[in-house]
Amino acid sequence: MRFILSIRTLLFALIMLCMSAASFAQIGVAITFGPPALPVYEQPLCPGDGYIWTPGYWAYDYGSDDYYWVPGTWVLAPEVGFLWTPAYWGWGGDRFIFHEGYWGPHVGFYGGINYGFGYFGEGYEGGRWDNGHFFYNRSVNNVNITEIHNVYNTNINHGAVNRVSYNGGNGGISARATPEEEAAGHERHVAPAAVQTQHEQAARANPQQRASVNTGKPPIAATPRPGDFNDRGAVPAKEAGAPYTPANRAGNPARSENTAARPTTAVHPRDLPPVARPSASSTGNPKLDKKDQQQQDQQIAEQQQERDKLHQKLAKQNVNEVKQQQVEQKHQQQTQQLAQKHTQQQQKLQSKQQASQNSAKPPKGKS
């Protein structure tokens, strides 16, 4: 019975995923309300030489229809000479579009958002590379100079603090990319490291990080390293950047009108739900059950690798605002095609395992 229910579930998912790309554009969730203001928080102590600060930001979870705070954290640069361009939200004409952060030789455009700690809306004033070593600006970074000696001190006048967390739209930052930032956007990029992706996933899984729960004041605002949510060095937000009322979410008129079609709205692989794990086999044959479990584990691992590979491929693509919506639709198609492929693989494996289990059962009347 469990197998039949699983097949029905997979078939339903397959039908939903086979909808046309045109349908995706018509019923996709349009986030027409901007994220909360950036919370006020302190920067944890830099854990060691070579770590670069990546500021916290509001991400969006389509499953809970809510923004959630991804804590700022210190991350080892993937390559010597690489700097971090933060993620940001930008108004795309009819919705807010998320522009993912990336690593590269120069800092690109990040919406003019003042994330603090060296990211004051343009470029990065928190440090620089010199002869293969990263030097920290003590005036904007929390660095222990008894352990890290490659430091300097340059005061930065960044004007009044603005905690608006998005570019464009009603009340957003009006900054536009400079020629230098546009050039940086076309350089070779490296997608967020695996630890950064896991860090974001951990934040999404924590209900306390959701804006509707913390009203713009997340309990974990920053961590010493990616994923160190329970580390004693993790810091909470001191206060919300501005008053935030979760009830505003109910006034989002441009959200999907067809709620039954929500499973098709994933634009990027990270928006998909976790890879489904079928119910464990229970045939009474331990060897067969173990073999089935190993096959399922192998398939799940391979599917997760495919998701990560597609995620990195899409993250490297960089386009201007005019083409952003078309590219997002293309990303959505590729993500749904991958999800459809994985659904078919799961169905095929379960059918194969069911046939194997049936053949392994002794005929009735015999033992």
Provide the token pair at 177: 């990319």
The pLDDT of residue 114 is: 97
With contact defined as beta carbons under 8 Å apart, do 280 and 53 qualify? no
pTM above the 0.75 mark?
Answer: no
Distance CA(242)–CA(163), nearest Å, equals: 8
Span 69-78, pLDDT tens digits: 999 999 999 9
Query: With 70 as the cut, is the pLDDT of residue 127 above it?
Result: yes
Mean pLDDT for the chain? 80
State how beta strands 151-152 and 51-54 pair: unpaired
Q: Which residue has the tokens 């579930």?
A: 9
Nearest to 163 by CA among 329, 345, 273, 36: 36
The pLDDT of residue 97 is: 92
Distance CA(111)–CA(187), nearest Å, equals: 18
Span 268-299, pLDDT tens digits: 666 666 665 565 566 777 777 777 777 777 77
With contact defined as beta carbons under 8 Å apart, do 125 and 159 qualify? no
Query: With 60 as the cut, is the pLDDT of residue 32 above it?
Result: yes
Distance CA(182)–CA(237), nearest Å, equals: 33
The pLDDT of residue 281 is: 60
Span 178-209, pLDDT tens digits: 999 999 999 999 999 999 999 999 999 999 99
Q: What percent of the chain has pLDDT over 90?
A: 53
Query: With 80 as the cut, is the pLDDT of residue 158 above it?
Result: no
Span 205-260, pLDDT tens digits: 999 999 999 999 999 999 999 999 999 999 999 999 999 987 444 444 333 333 33
